[in-house]
Structure 1
């Protein structure tokens, strides 16, 4: 399975340095939490990794290749960056049919991912009537449709109720247990602590800490306290 590697990544937007010399790895078979306060550079890093933004310096690769170099990118990396962007008049099933064609995914996967994300009963409802949590589930279904090796998720718990967060935790743990690679950004630190194997914490575009959760909190502090000590900001 694939490894994510970030090496010396730099990105500036005018006078603002969004990412500043960032380096870290995400290994197969693990869930890595990508943490930092708002504006820390998490989303910019993920967008560079997915080929949506060009870096000014450094590299962001999946299995040694940039996203644009991947021979079958949707089969190799599934992503959720936001829950918007679906046509409100389409049903969930129709949306997935269109995505399956675009990804050259087997049509049988549509029913699989609807079941996996708990959307089977809502599959023929129009997306315009979906809650934010249901849109997040549909985004995850879309990301999983081509049976990728890697999941790259930006705040996937947004809009999910407590039951949905528990479901998401099980989904990510199961994906990693089968050898998949998961990078998930979040500011919901208490939930991340119960989901991830390790964390990467950034602030002002720079790496401030990385490693297994147990090691970072070995001094007796919880993850939220450690986060505050490293970034000076409370989680929200």
Structure 2
């Protein structure tokens, strides 16, 4: 079973701490929601996990290895950090075919993932003609090409209509049910609570909470109230980190 371990992860830009001594785990077979307000350090953390940013300190590993050391990254990890990095003149099917070829993956996966993300009928269209939601689905298709053990998504519901949001929710639950490791970054609290098994909250670059949703709301607070309390008080992260390590 493949999992993610983040330990003491830190990233500074000059004198500014974007991420400050953050530690948490993402177990296999569950969906972990990675939450925080805008500017909390979520995307920077994911970029370090995926080898796109070099940490100032600490480690972030997948199955005990840094992303750069994985033998077959696309077979181990599928990731979506943004859905806009596709040439608008390229057809959806062509884009996925090129990704598969570059990763040494069988071309039959292209048709399979297009059906999974419900873009089969639009595969011949140019990406520039896609809606934002369709581009998001295409990005998820690219992440799924290698049938990865780990799926990492940053704000995946951007641009999705209600039907698309439900589709993504069901997909994440299905993948977790098959033993995959799923980490989803979002600032949409109500949506994440519908599919996440565990929650990691950061704010101001620091960990504020790691644990189950139920454990966060045991005192009768709503999840929204508990979240806002955690991210508004800089002292809270120490207590929660110790309590839920």
Distance 1:210 1:224 in 2: 16
Distance 2:171 2:222 in 1: 24
- Note the alpha carbon deviations across 1:83-106, whole angstroms, 9 max, x for none: 111011111100010000011111
Equivalent residue number for residue 41 of structure 2: 41
Equivalent residue number for residue 50 of structure 1: 50
Question: Is the aligned partner of 1:206 residue 2:206?
Answer: yes
Distance 1:161 1:221 in 2: 29
CA contact 1:104–1:146 (8 Å) conserved in 2: no
Residue 187 of structure 1 and its aligned partner are, at CA, apart by 0.5
Equivalent residue number for residue 80 of structure 1: 80
Equivalent residue number for residue 18 of structure 1: 18
SS state at 1:140 partner = helix
Residue 115 of structure 1 and its aligned partner are, at CA, apart by 0.5
Structure 2, unaligned stretches of length 5 or more? Answer: 234-245
- Note the alpha carbon deviations across 1:58-102, whole angstroms, 9 max, x for none: 000000000000010111000000011101111110001000001
CA contact 1:93–1:110 (8 Å) conserved in 2: yes
- RMSD (Å) for aligned C-alpha atoms: 0.9
Distance 1:220 1:91 in 2: 50
Equivalent residue number for residue 130 of structure 2: 130
Write the mapping of 1:66-145 to structure 2, written as runs, cut at 5 A: 66-145=66-145
Distance 2:58 2:127 in 1: 39
SS state at 1:152 partner = strand
Distance 2:131 2:188 in 1: 20
Distance 1:223 1:76 in 2: 33
Q: TM-score, normalised by structure 1?
A: 0.97
Residue 53 of structure 1 and its aligned partner are, at CA, apart by 0.3
Equivalent residue number for residue 226 of structure 2: 226
Question: Is the aligned partner of 1:152 residue 2:152?
Answer: yes
Equivalent residue number for residue 215 of structure 1: 215
Structure 1, unaligned stretches of length 5 or more? Answer: none
SS state at 2:106 partner = coil
Residue 221 of structure 1 and its aligned partner are, at CA, apart by 1.9
Distance 1:197 1:205 in 2: 23
SS state at 1:224 partner = helix
Distance 1:154 1:167 in 2: 16
CA contact 1:84–1:135 (8 Å) conserved in 2: yes
Equivalent residue number for residue 7 of structure 2: 7
CA contact 1:32–1:197 (8 Å) conserved in 2: yes
Residue 222 of structure 1 and its aligned partner are, at CA, apart by 2.2
Q: TM-score, normalised by structure 2?
A: 0.94
Residue 232 of structure 1 and its aligned partner are, at CA, apart by 2.4
